[in-house]
Amino acid sequence: MKKRDSHPRSGVFPEAWDRGPDPETLVPGQAAKLAELREIAPPRAADYERASRGLAGAADPAELLERHSMILGRERGQVTLALGEVGKLPIEERKRTGRALNLIKRWLAEISEARRSQLEAAADSRSGPDVTLPGRRPWVGRPHVLAQIQSELLDLFHGLGYSVYESRESELDEYNFGKLNFAPDHPARDAHDTYFLSPGVVMRTHTSPGWVRAMEERRPPLRLVFPGRVYRAEQVDASHMDQFHQIDGLNVGPDVSMADLKGTLNTFARSIYGERVRTRLIPIYFPFVEPGCQMDVSCVICDGRGAVTENGSERRCSVCRGSGWLEVLGAGMVHPNVLRAVGYDPEQVTGFAFGMGLERIAMLRHGVPEIRLFLENDVRFLGQF
């Protein structure tokens, strides 16, 4: 393409460049620039527009470089050449053309640079990692579901003023039974299928021997919880384990009553089973409390209705067996014989106690169908909690 005169005119750059995109998205203000050029050097406006589209439409870095050289190259670039010619122009035209060409040079350089960054960014994103691939992931550990429930209960009772007392798992018969008011040869012992280590030494069948040890060590008032593993000599099946977990609570002081017990148990029930849960206390016999009671909560599955709706028809709730109630804990006022056995005076202090099983809570809360799962430690089970 030969210069016919000192003014590069339309047609200096290939017509095909006109199909390039409006550079407005690369560098804003294109319309204003064109207007300004038409004002000061109208013949240059068309060349500018084509060149700017040519730069914006360069398909890859090589093409961009080629076009950039053709337009702005230090020796052979059309704008550079045109600027070299400016001195030959008449004085008043020299000024306007010089200004227009300098603007064109700056504006096109900006567009060229913007297109270059854009093309580089696109190239980077093609050569970078596939972000949809998974990363190098370390293992994640989860606390055991029973540990979570135990922590939740200990936190709850901590808030109610209870400290933890950890007591032994192997225990003297005297602490597991005798001092808890199980008379020798009493049938109540039959409810506790007991593992013996030697005559007079047992695996504790409940966490209650901790009361005796704590009360023998300390003076009232006291508020303690006793978490831990207990043992019953039972055949293991889906709903029975010979090793399971309980938490007992004990509150002994000058005027502790069943009304206090009820307040505590209802707080527990609402915290663990939800604010809407209904509770009831019914009498039950344990040798170590008098009066004794059992707390039931409204069934968490059927909401106490005793029936569930399944595919539009009513069926008896299998969890509460239609009764609408679930037994969740045993409780009562500490038996005066137990207080006497630890050297407390039942006329000076009274107390309440309660006990519950962790597995029961976990099974209800998470729908765990088999008690054996808790000690099996299948990682596919553990990882869910």
Partner 1 sequence: MKLPISWLNDWIETDAAPGRIAEALTQLGFYVGGIETRGHAFPGVVVARVIEVAKHPNADQLSLCRVDGGSGELSVVCGAPNVRAGMMVPLATVGAKLPGGLVIRRSKIRGEESQGMLCSASELEISDDAEGILDLERWAGSSGPLTIGRPFDELLEPPDAVLEVEVPFNRPDGLGVVGLAREVRAALGARWTGAATARLAARWSGRADFDLDLEDREGCPRYIAQAIEGVRIEPSPPWLSGRLESMGQRSVNAIVDLTNLILLEFGQPLHTFDLARLAGPAIRVRRARAGESLVTLDGRSRALNPEMLVIADRERAVAVAGVMGGADSEVTRATTSLLLECAWFDPRTVRRTSRALGLASEASKRYERGVDPEIGPAAAARFLGLLREVCPSARLAAARERNHLDGRRRTLQLRPSRCARLIGMDLGGAEARRQLESFEFQVESGDPLRVSVPSWRPDVSIEDDLVEEVARGHGYDRIPESALASPGTRPVRSERERRIARARAAMLARGLNEAWTPTLVSEREAADAARLVGIDPAHLTRLMNPTSRESEVLRPSPVPGLLRACAHNLRQGASAVRLFEVGTGFRAGEGALPDESTWLVALVCGARYAHAHDEAQQPLDFADARGSWESWLEEMRVDSPEWRAYSADGWKPGASAEVATRTSRIGWAGTLHPSLLRGWDIEVPVHLFAVLLDALAPLAAPTRVSLPGRFPPVRRDLAFFVPAATTHHEVKQTLIRAAGDALQSIEVFDVYSGPGTPEGMKSLAYALQFQNAERTLNETEVQGIQNRMVMAVTKKCGGRLREK
Is 113 an interacting residue with respect to partner 1 (CB under 8 A)? no
Q: Which long-range contacts (CB under 8 A, 24 or more apart) does 199-202 make?
A: 200/172, 200/173, 200/174, 201/170, 201/171, 201/172, 201/173, 202/170, 202/171, 202/172, 202/173, 202/176
In the bound state with partner 1, the residue whose beta carbon lies nearer, of 62 and 236, is: 236
Q: Residue 355 pairs with which residues in a beta bridge?
A: 248, 330
Q: How far is the CB of 155 from partner 1 (least distance, A)?
A: 10
Q: How far apart are CA 296 and CA 266, in angstroms?
A: 10
Is 285 an interacting residue with respect to partner 1 (CB under 8 A)? yes
Q: How far apart are CA 150 and CA 356, in angstroms?
A: 11
- Helix H or strand E segment including 338: helix 336-341
Question: Which one of the spans 17-25, 43-51, 67-75, 140-148 is the region binding partner 1 (CB under 8 A)?
Answer: 140-148
Q: How far is the CB of 38 from partner 1 (least distance, A)?
A: 59
Sites for partner 1 among residues 145-164 (CB under 8 A): 146-147, 157-164
Question: Which one of the spans 55-63, 91-99, 105-113, 250-258 is the region binding partner 1 (CB under 8 A)?
Answer: 250-258
**Three-state secondary structure call for residue 205:** coil
Q: How far is the CB of 364 from partner 1 (least distance, A)?
A: 18
Is 242 an interacting residue with respect to partner 1 (CB under 8 A)? yes
Contacts of 237 (CB under 8 A, 6+ apart): 372
Q: How far apart are CA 159 and CA 376, in angstroms?
A: 32
Q: How far is the CB of 303 from partner 1 (least distance, A)?
A: 19
Tokens standing for residue 276: 């809407």
CB 280, CB 325: distance < 8 Å: yes
Q: How far is the CB of 370 from partner 1 (least distance, A)?
A: 14
Per-position x/- string for 315-354, each x denoting binding to partner 1 as judged by CB under 8 A, each - no binding: ------xxx---------x-xx-------------x----
Sites for partner 1 among residues 161-190 (CB under 8 A): 161-164, 166, 168-172, 185, 187-188, 190
Work out which of 79, 82, 203, 361 binds partner 1, going by CB under 8 A: 203
CB 324, CB 298: distance < 8 Å: yes
Look-up of token digits 């009232």: 220
Is 217 an interacting residue with respect to partner 1 (CB under 8 A)? no
Question: Which one of the spans 9-17, 102-110, 137-145, 204-212 is the region binding partner 1 (CB under 8 A)?
Answer: 137-145
Is 376 an interacting residue with respect to partner 1 (CB under 8 A)? yes
Contacts of 358 (CB under 8 A, 6+ apart): 146, 149, 150, 153, 244, 245, 246, 247
In the bound state with partner 1, the residue whose beta carbon lies nearer, of 281 and 307, is: 281
In the bound state with partner 1, the residue whose beta carbon lies nearer, of 73 and 221, is: 221
